[in-house]
Amino acid sequence: MRFVRGLSYRASAIAGVATQFFFGLVFVMVFQAFARSGGDSIRAGLDNTQIASYVWLQQAFLALIMMWYRDRELLSTIASGDAAYELCRPVDAYFFWYARLLAGRLAGAALRCLPILAVAALLPEPYRLCAPPSLASGLCFVLCMALGVFLIVAITIFAYILTVLTLSPTAPFIFLTPVYEFAAGMVIPLPFMPDALQKILYYLPFRLCVDLPLRMYSGAIAAVDAPGLLLRQAIWIVLLVPLGRLALNRALRGAQAVGG
């Protein structure tokens, strides 16, 4: 249902595609200029053509991997104190919300990825999206991306659980987004952080959703290393889902729907 609704927002999709295409182009050009001027260090193991692919994939699948996806309707329901009413239906609230958030992301990506990928594949070298170096890489990318999406929903659903407790639709996101972005290496790439910090962040799940699938595509992470990392993603999912479910049920039972 959420998927169908997401698909119905045409204007938003068109605007989104245009925005992301623009950003993709800019990012690629910036990185290319940087590479040409000799800036080795930032590339973290990707060469010219790989950078372009990385950026384009990132843009095309942004809805799937970005942290700050907010389901506004759900948030306003929670903020108005009506979250408890979700329990009026014979469904498990956690899985209902999980499915809803997942579908919202999928709809966002489904609408936008094809146009962006299609055009990106047709651009002249070195700006264009290239095919993965091997079938194995391509497959790893798909699996990693899929698990990454499940993982990111399992992580971000905690923001919604916090919203149930605080009744603020913005505070949990304001708090969690920088934490996530920092831990995922989006502020400073992970290889640049102090060793001790790196070790800690290495074990947290954040980096496994954003950066990993994209690097698998370009082969920067060899296909042979993939199973270990995929397993890591799966383990985190298995840990976070029951935890989230427990937390949400506790929060909803305590949440006092306002009024007399």
Q: Residues 38, 40, 88, 228: which binds another protein (CB under 8 A)?
A: 88
Q: Residues 15, 18, 26, 91: which binds another protein (CB under 8 A)?
A: 91
Q: Is 11 in the site for another protein (CB under 8 A)?
A: no
Site string for another protein, 19-58 (x = CB under 8 A): ----------------------------------------
Nearest residue to 159 via CA among 168, 151, 146, 148: 168
Q: Is 256 in the site for another protein (CB under 8 A)?
A: yes
The least CB distance from residue 260 to another protein, in Å, is: 4
How many residues at the interface with another protein, by CB under 8 A?
Answer: 20
Number of Cβ atoms within 10 Å of the Cβ of 18: 13
Number of Cβ atoms within 10 Å of the Cβ of 223: 18
Nearest residue to 53 via CA among 213, 207, 217: 217
The residue among 1 and 122 lying less far from another protein, judged by its C-beta, is 1
Span near another protein by CB under 8 A; candidates 12-20, 88-96, 122-130, 201-209 = 88-96
Rounded to whole angstroms, the Cα distance separating 37 from 40 reads 9
Peptide bond into 172 cis (omega under 30): no
CA-based angle 242:245:250, to the nearest 5? 130
Q: Residues 74, 84, 147, 151: which binds another protein (CB under 8 A)?
A: 84
Q: Is 259 in the site for another protein (CB under 8 A)?
A: yes
Q: Is 253 in the site for another protein (CB under 8 A)?
A: yes
For the chain, percent helix, then strand, then coil, each to nearest 5?
Answer: 75, 0, 25
The residue among 199 and 253 lying less far from another protein, judged by its C-beta, is 253
The residue among 104 and 205 lying less far from another protein, judged by its C-beta, is 104
> Would you give the DSSP letter of residue 130?
P
Q: Is 87 in the site for another protein (CB under 8 A)?
A: yes
Rounded to whole angstroms, the Cα distance separating 114 from 232 reads 29
Q: Is 106 in the site for another protein (CB under 8 A)?
A: no
The least CB distance from residue 3 to another protein, in Å, is: 11
- Token pair of 155, please? 């992580």
Q: Is 82 in the site for another protein (CB under 8 A)?
A: yes
Span near another protein by CB under 8 A; candidates 81-89, 104-112, 126-134, 213-221 = 81-89
Nearest residue to 7 via CA among 79, 94, 111, 80: 111
The least CB distance from residue 245 to another protein, in Å, is: 14
Q: Is 246 in the site for another protein (CB under 8 A)?
A: no
Number of Cβ atoms within 10 Å of the Cβ of 171: 13
Rounded to whole angstroms, the Cα distance separating 236 from 150 reads 10
Residues lying near another protein in the complex (CB under 8 A) are found at 1, 4-5, 8, 73, 82, 84-85, 87-92, 252-253, 256-257, 259-260
